[in-house]
Amino acid sequence: MLGFLNRIDKAISELLHKLDSKLVSMILYPFALIFNPSFVIVPICLVYAFNFSILKRNQENSIIQALFYVFCIICNLVMTLVTKKLLRRKRPIFIPWLKNKSSIFRQKEQNCSLPSGDSIQAVNFACNIIFSYNQVNFIMKFFMGISIDYDILEMILIAFVILVMTARVYFMCHFTFDTILGVIMGYFLTNFLQTRFFDTFSHNIFRVINAIEI
């Protein structure tokens, strides 16, 4: 049964693996790159900017949200590395004759394939944005002139996660199931961390910030 599902997964993934479009490559390139360790500062800054500029929260709260997001990144990364070691699924073989598809992603990915770490981090990012949004109540949103709608924000973040998943399969770093499992794992771990640890985390960070100011 597992062998059959594995063959189905690879057959579906090959549809994207063999797609060779300059336009698609240009569109998906940033989404394949955003959670690369070299650019980790970008999503962290986006979480801070979303809280400070869009939600109009004060600097302390914005910093706490960004630092908690860093905590979630680390926890999700540990889960990713441990799971890859346990499952040991090999990555797709790069197809060298494709002209419009960069091989840089596949060449640098030397560890195992399952789950997709980028997909885990994409849903981690999305969950932290939604978490920040939900902390600002309706009355505050009204009086502070926060106009962004929850449903629109949710659709944007879902589209973002799907584009990251698609990009990782398109550039032959993963099979489709790798990204699906990554999203599921990232969603549950991030929500667990937010439910169980955010209050304690934010309280301790507030104490540190107040101590520094004194």
The 10s digit of each residue's pLDDT in 120-179 is 999 999 999 999 998 876 556 655 666 678 889 999 999 999 999 999 999 988 999 999
The pLDDT of residue 116 is above 70 = yes
What are φ and ψ of residue 207, in 5° steps?
-65, -40
Rounded Cα–Cα distance for residues 91 and 55 (Å) = 40
Answer whether residue 92 is part of any domain.
no
> What is the C-alpha separation between 100 and 98, in angstroms, rounded?
6
Report if residue 179 sits inside a domain: yes
24 assigned to some structural domain: no
**Mean confidence (pLDDT) of the chain:** 87
- pLDDT one-digit tens code per residue, 48-74: 999 998 888 888 899 999 999 999 999
**How much is the pLDDT for 144?**
61
Q: What is the pLDDT of residue 141?
A: 61
Pick the range with the lowest mean pLDDT from 40-49, 64-73, 109-118: 109-118
Q: How many domains does the chain have?
A: 1
Could you tell me how far CA 47 lies from the centroid of its own chain? 12
Percent of the chain's residues with pLDDT above 70: 89
Residue 159 within any structural domain of the chain? yes
| Inside any domain, residue 66 | yes
DSSP 52: I
* Confidence check: pLDDT of 108 > 80: no
Integer Cα distance of 159 and 63 in angstroms:
26
Task: Identify the CA nearest to 123 among candidates 152, 161, 156.
Answer: 161
Residue 203 CA to residue 214 CA, distance in Å, equals: 17
Q: Give the integer Cα–Cα distance in Å for 65 and 71.
A: 10
* pLDDT surpassing 70 at residue 18: yes
Contact indicator for 168, 118 with CB cutoff of 8 Å: yes
For residue 214, the model assigns a pLDDT of 55
**Is residue 102 a part of any domain in this protein?**
no
> Whole-angstrom Cα distance, residue 136 to residue 21?
42
151 lies in some domain: yes
Q: Looking at the domain assignment, is residue 8 inside a domain?
A: no
Tell me which residue range forms the domain holding 48: 41-85+119-214
Q: How sure is the predictor about 15, in pLDDT bands with cuts at 50, 70 and 90? A: confident
Q: Is a pLDDT exceeding 70 seen at residue 2?
A: no
- The predicted-structure confidence for 76-90, as pLDDT tens digits, reads as follows 999 999 999 999 888
